[in-house]
A and B are shown apart, each in its own frame.
Chain A
């Protein structure tokens, strides 16, 4: 069974700082999705990466997919309080595996 390990589990930073969170697997991903979940809500898709080495940008968020498609990272530049939430990686097409998440808190 494929497992997705996310690190760090918790991250508390000041507004304006940069941060990177990681998603790793012992198996090759078919594709990899990143979601953000805010308290009291369901996860919302941020991006899907499908090609090894792929880099996608979403405003201040940069997503990288490892060349071997076994790892991915999410980098946030100049974090803002609105970035606070639970960041989840997920893999699958119909049967999905989710990572345990990185809980980010950005302090004003």
Chain B
């Protein structure tokens, strides 16, 4: 089954304790991205990656790191989490070879989300 998986699904941690949220996709997609979703603010992009070893900042990259050493994996790293990083996090992936106007152009497939609480 084609899917994007995230682990863990739920995490409660304390300020300053480094953590990693893993993301993996089995669709051989070039593009992967991380978002956070907060009430009233919608989805905001943290980082994205257009391919292995190619990453770039989204709108809210502060306090986060990413790496893309393999095509299928795109972990999100919080070196020193703070309470303002409490949020619902989504990983997404897409092919970059879609045809414009076909309805499948750059369709992003999202993971199930990781709910993070930083105390």
Contacts and interface: CB of A to CB of B under 8 A. Distances in A.
Interface string B94-112: 0000001101111110111
Interface in A56-108: 56, 88, 90, 93-101
Contacts of A56: 103
Nearest to A44: B110
A100 B44 contact: no
A42 B111 contact: yes
Contacts of B33: 96
Contact of B110 (A43, A93, A95): A43
Contacts, number: 69
B43 A43 contact: yes
A47 B108 CA distance: 11
The residue in A47, A90, A94, A99 that gathers the most chain B C-beta atoms within 10 A of its C-beta is A94
Contacts of B101: 48, 50-51
Contacts of A31: 100, 105-106
A97 B33 CA distance: 12
A96 B4 CA distance: 18
Interface string A32-49: 010000001111110110
A1 B103 CA distance: 26
Nearest 5 A/B pairs, CB to CB: A42-B110, A98-B43, A100-B42, A45-B107, A98-B42
6 contacts: A40-B112, A48-B103, A48-B105, A98-B35, A98-B44, A100-B40
Interface of A: 1, 31, 33, 40-45, 47-48, 50-51, 56, 88, 90, 93-101
